[in-house]
Amino acid sequence: MRAADPILRVEDVAKSFTMHLRGGLSIPVVEDVAFEVFAGECVVLGGPSGAGKSSILKMVWGNYGVDRGRIVVGDIDVAVAEPREVLALRRSTMGYVSQFLRVVPRVATLDVVMEPALAQGLDPAEVRTRAEALLGRLNVPERLWSLPPATFSGGEQQRVNIARGLIADVRLLLLDEPTASLDAANRAAVVELIEAKKAAGTALLGIFHDIDVRDRVATRIVDVTGFATRRDAA
């Protein structure tokens, strides 16, 4: 029995893409998307490639607009929120771990990881301690912490990305293939960190193509296939 309201509520969401170079052709992606995510659970979006999982995640994050419906995080409807409201929500309430690390060049790894928590106004000394602990837990060598991550291997960059995504105190955390380029030992470390976030009451919404990782972290799976639309026009 859940006594609290959901952290994330997705209601009747539809999304299509307009191909302007093909005479305004509309390509439907998903329709009638509806699910909730509560504190302390990890909801995984399941289904084959192309079903719309990443599009749903990007709509929740506010990178993609929606054709119809509501995406409510706390008391903010991301589907109609102003850009400044979405940015404020990302600082205070919502985090994101993408497949790729996108940061300002020449910024040291430790500073890259610390930035989201510092933006929340947390004590810099505490944030540094958190960042060092996360980087150590994710097996990023200390000799790399003062270097910019652009020159790191793909796996090292992904671990920096994960540390950056997990450092802040957020109510909702979005995970887009966080273990995609990691070896078994580092996948296990990420699973432990996700479980710790769940135990702390964070609501998580993720995509995992690694079935073993998915089965270990998922509270439940939402099959996106039921929301996918026909693409005959494509």
Per-residue pLDDT of the chain (234 residues; tens, 9 = 90+): 455 899 999 999 999 887 766 666 777 889 999 999 999 999 999 988 888 899 999 999 999 999 999 999 989 999 999 999 999 999 999 999 987 777 777 899 999 999 999 999 999 999 999 999 999 999 999 999 999 998 898 889 999 999 999 999 999 999 999 998 899 999 999 999 999 999 999 999 999 988 999 999 999 999 998 886 644 333
Domains along the chain with CATH numbers:
1-93+172-177+209-234 (3.40.50.300)
pLDDT of residue 28: 80
Q: C-alpha angle with apex 97: 33 to 75, nearest 5 degrees?
A: 50
Longest CA–CA separation in the chain, Å = 56
The Cα-based distances of 87 to 93, 186, 203, 211 in angstroms read 10, 30, 19, 32
